[in-house]
Amino acid sequence: MTPPPDLPAAPLCVGYSGGLDSTVLLHLLVELPDMRVRGLRAIHIHHGLHPDADAWTAHCVDTCAALGVPLMVERVQVAADSGEGREAAARHARRAAFVRQLGDDEVLVLAHHQDDQAETFLLRALRASGPDGLAAMRRWSQLGPHRVWRPLLDIPRDVLRTYAVGHGLRWLEDPSNTDTTFDRNFLRNRVMPLLRERWPGVDSAFAQSARHCETAAALLHEDDARHLADVATADPAVLSRTALLHLPVARRARVLRLWATRLGLPPLPAEGVSRIEDEVLPARADARAMFAWDGMAVRSWRDLLHAGPLHPPPPADWSAHWVGDAPLALPGGGALTLEGAPRFQSPLTVGMRAGGERITLPGRTHTHALKHVLQDLGVPPWEREHLPLLRTAGGEVLAAGDLVYSADFDAWLRQAGARLHWQPAVQRTA
């Protein structure tokens, strides 16, 4: 096998399991000139799911020592009660470990090959995926802030085995790979051999189809990004409902998925796209329509569509006395901080909105309903639920977070050269 044409100049970190594929990958890279000098290293994830996990780790340590490659062993806890299955839970734990341990400029190198790509394509097809899903694994992709490279993606596993035997390599065999209760193992051990019997080039054909889908998805993505820019607002987490509703339904679904991806949210499920389409987008301007998933939510209010973490409202009866000499922690996260002044002249009370509050704004002599003031500022209802109110001992409202100040409090801040800063737990609108 020849050196890959897209060999990056950055330091490389190999995801090394000790199996055939990653053993060949590590050996191939070690054989290239200057790889060790450029910072080649490996990382082994100890999942703790098999009785031989410690022995596998010892094998990886010995192999890397013999090759002169630094190895990091990362032990992870695989959630047994995540509801997504052991295979998916282990994959998520492994990815999280990679993100934690990779250096800023390192490229993660994984040993997925053509057979893996064919299996992934077929699995995605069985789940009714569209072009993005059927593109399967990309040769270059992202894992959080890090680049991921799969240089073996066009190489059949038989070629890797021939290389390993020819170079006298030793590798591990995970007995769970024969357990056909896992979908991928069922395809690998039962379905793919049958397909190869009838169509010998099936792995290459599926991999080629995945490449065609990747090309199509890239073209679609360019248009998705352009349409997302058309419906965007100054806040990346907020879109215009009116602009979205002018898009075709199919394009709107893709734009919503791209939006969630760019915000770093979990992928929007198909049910979520349908619910947003049927319930959230067409909701009345004053309604509080919402779709929630995985601790996140897409909500409508007025002409806007908001996305972000879903926070339960704080206890309505919570209150605290505060003199401003130290940040005040708020229930559910967040804090109030007085900056530029040592403390208030007398203790003030901080609590949550109960409704019916009124405030005298700077430059005014009469009070206004705080609810209407916040509505005029465009503060969504779920943000208002988390808004801390600063009151005098007599109950007069001085401030609503750092969004609204009373005339007296505004004058005091100016005179003292101070500033009230509200750091909310819930995402704020720009």
- 19 a known binding residue? yes
CA distances from 186 to 111, 119, 192 (A): 21, 10, 9
- What is the CB-side half-sphere exposure of residue 230 using CA atoms within 13 A? 15
- 378 a known binding residue? no
- CA dist 10 and 277 (Å) reads 43
- 295 a known binding residue? no
For residues 273 and 253, the answer to whether their CB atoms sit within 8 Å is yes
- CA dist 409 and 392 (Å) reads 10
Tokens of 283: 């909701």
- Using the CB atoms, write b or e for 287-307: b if 16+ within 10 Å: eebbbebeebbbbbbeebbbb
- 17 a known binding residue? yes
Going by DSSP bridges, is the β-strand pair 12-15/41-46 parallel, antiparallel, or unpaired? parallel
- CA dist 287 and 381 (Å) reads 10
For residues 311 and 332, the answer to whether their CB atoms sit within 8 Å is yes
- The DSSP annotation for 269-325 comes to PHHHHHHIIIIITTS-TT---EEEETTEEEEEETTEEEEEE--PPPPTT-EEEE-SS
- What is the CB-side half-sphere exposure of residue 35 using CA atoms within 13 A? 24
Task: With H, G, I as helix, E, B as strand and everything else as coil, classify residue 200.
Answer: coil
- 300 a known binding residue? no
Task: With H, G, I as helix, E, B as strand and everything else as coil, classify residue 328.
Answer: strand
- 361 a known binding residue? no
- CA dist 74 and 94 (Å) reads 9
Residue list, annotated binding site for ATP: 17-22
